[in-house]
Amino acid sequence: MNANELIARGETALGIELGSTRIKGVLCDFSGNVLATGFFEWENKLQNGVWTYSLEDAEKGLRACYASLRENVKEKYGAAPRTFGAVGVSAMMHGYIALDEKGRQLAPFQTWRNTNTQKAADELTGLFDFNIPLRWSCAHLYQRALDNEEHVSRVSSVFTLAAYIHYRLTGEKVTGVGDASGMFPIDAQTLDYDENMVKKFDARLKERGVARGLRELFPRPLTAGQNAGYLTPSGAALLDGSGELLPGVPFCPPVGDAGTGMTATNAVAPRTGNLSAGTSVFAMIVLEKPLSRLHREIDIVTTPTGAPCAMSHANNGSTDINAWAGVIREACALFGVPTEPDELYSKLYNESLQGDPDCGGLMTYGWYSGENVTFINEGRPLILRRPESRLTLANLMRAHLYSSLGAVKLGLDILFEKEGVKLSRMTGHGGLFKTPGVMTRYLAAAVNAPVTVLKTANEGGAWGIALLAAYTAYGKRFGALEDYLDKAVFSNLSGETVSPDPRDAQGFSAFMERYKACLDVEKAAIENI
């Protein structure tokens, strides 16, 4: 069947991901071929010291994104879709959305970017003998209890953003096991919240006046391929303002952006890894065996099927690069040379290749918030240099791009050097890889191993959640998720593979020595600015 027939029959998969700066929708066939896309731009806000989005904006953006995709389908194929084989929702992992019994929001949505949970994360890590990062939902809930916030005794449900949107569309209080693994530790055998840790957590909550236990508060974990509910009439009205979308469409489990990244790069089997580079930057490696000991710098989460994987996560990625690109665009306009964003980024990224391998001695931190891997919980964007450093546009851009990998590199060094984790292949994806041959080259230097970026890399997590929806609707006939991806989706996809250049690797290593040495300067900036 051609695309028109597939759309008319509903033999398609729709994925929508609420990312940090963009809500994106992707419609694809069951082999992963992209048929249409839709977009809505948004941005987080710092309100009263909390990085947040309003849930009203999330629902408005969801609706606008779907309208954009619907129009794209009509333009390309002559008719709007009325149903799908399956739908999936993804969003930024972690965070805290608290609702009461009537579904009313009780407190501001705390995103992954917030680092105001140090006491809770420390206490829970000691209680569980398992690393609880500051971003995790259980740390947010427990910190609210430690702080005696009035709303905690009335909390009936705690969601991530993906689980919340899924709940609004289906009425089901569930989430994918990968998303759940960023809320609370997962038992690799049961593919559910770790029962021993649940009992300890519930006891601590009870001491703080929280009557409900974790299993009542948190969404139930599901694995890839399981049915996660159906689009309700109210959900259809929320998603599609035209009223043409029919209820009853099946949903796959909602997934965090780590899970969609793994799926979109076919990195769900042991010894495979991927690095997502956008507003945040994080690397995921699927483990062959458990780590030998607890590392506070490393998250242990799961793939969409529940396999354990190690995550090195950085809160700060492209934000400061975007700010500097904006300044350069203003300078161009001042001289009467208007530039389009895509052209500007392409030229700046390619110019960075002309820079010195060690960035000419420049040092940058694009930190708008803290970095867990460094145990520094606030951020100040900085540019540092010595008098003899070579301040050129090429070196400045190269330093910004190197720096976007800096915090992640610290975590990867722990995995490779202290834990002996093996990696068969690393795949990159996300907005920072949009310009061919630049970030691929720098990531290869950082991990000192070949890196592949597929032609689909810019489709990102929305394509990843669309693939998980397609797996629910069609792909289970191939067996495991990795078999479906290998045989039905990635067998005909090509991309760019770059091996590390020894000079780049040496230069990146020199940059990282400065990165570590200058952390005290970042601390001083936080104390004084």
pLDDT band of residue 457 (cuts 50, 70, 90) is low
C-alpha closest to that of 55 among 171, 175, 162, 215: 162
**CB atoms near residue 525 (< 10 Å):** 17
Percentage, residues of the chain above pLDDT 90? 88
Instruction: Evaluate if residue 145 carries a pLDDT over 80.
Output: yes
CATH fourth-level superfamily of 265-315+408-502: ATPase, nucleotide binding domain (3.30.420.40)
Mean of the pLDDT values across residues 359-377?
94
Tell me the average pLDDT across 323-332: 96
User: Do residues 231 and 247 lie in contact, with contact meaning Cβ atoms separated by under 8 Å?
Assistant: yes
pLDDT exceeds 80 at position 516: yes
Percent of the residues in the chain that have a pLDDT greater than 70, as a whole number: 100
β-pair partners for 342: none
pLDDT bracket for residue 459 (50, 70, 90): confident
For 169, 250, 332, the CA distances from 469, given in Å and listed in that order, are: 15, 9, 44
Parse the chain into domains and list their residue ranges: 265-315+408-502, 319-403+503-528
Residues 6+ apart with CB under 8 A from 490: 32, 266, 454
Torsion of CA 242, 92, 306, 311, to 10 degrees: 160
Own/partner pairs, 503-507, CB within 8 angstroms, 24+ separation: 503/357, 504/357, 504/441, 504/442, 504/444, 504/445, 505/444, 505/445, 505/448, 506/357, 506/358, 507/356, 507/357, 507/358, 507/359, 507/445
List the beta strands (DSSP E) in 12-131. 13-18, 22-28, 34-41, 45-47, 50-52, 86-91, 97-99
Backbone dihedral angles phi then psi of residue 253, each to the nearest 5 degrees:
-60, 140
d(CA 304, CA 287): 14
Mean pLDDT over the full length of the chain: 95
Q: Residue 365: pLDDT above 70?
A: yes
Which H or E element spans position 330?
helix 319-334
Query: Do the Cβ atoms of 283 and 435 come closer than 8 Å?
Result: no
Q: For residue range 461-499, what is the model confidence (pLDDT) as tens digits?
A: 899 999 999 999 999 999 999 999 999 999 887 788 999
* pLDDT bracket for residue 152 (50, 70, 90): very high
The answer on pLDDT for 458 being more than 70 is no
**pTM of the complete model:** 0.86
What pLDDT is stored for residue 297 in this prediction? 93
Task: Give the residues across from 247 on adjacent strands.
Answer: none
CA distances to 129, 202, 205, 339 from 208, rounded to whole Å, are: 21, 10, 5, 56
Joined tokens for residue 68: 């954009």
Q: What average pLDDT score do residues 414-431 get?
A: 90
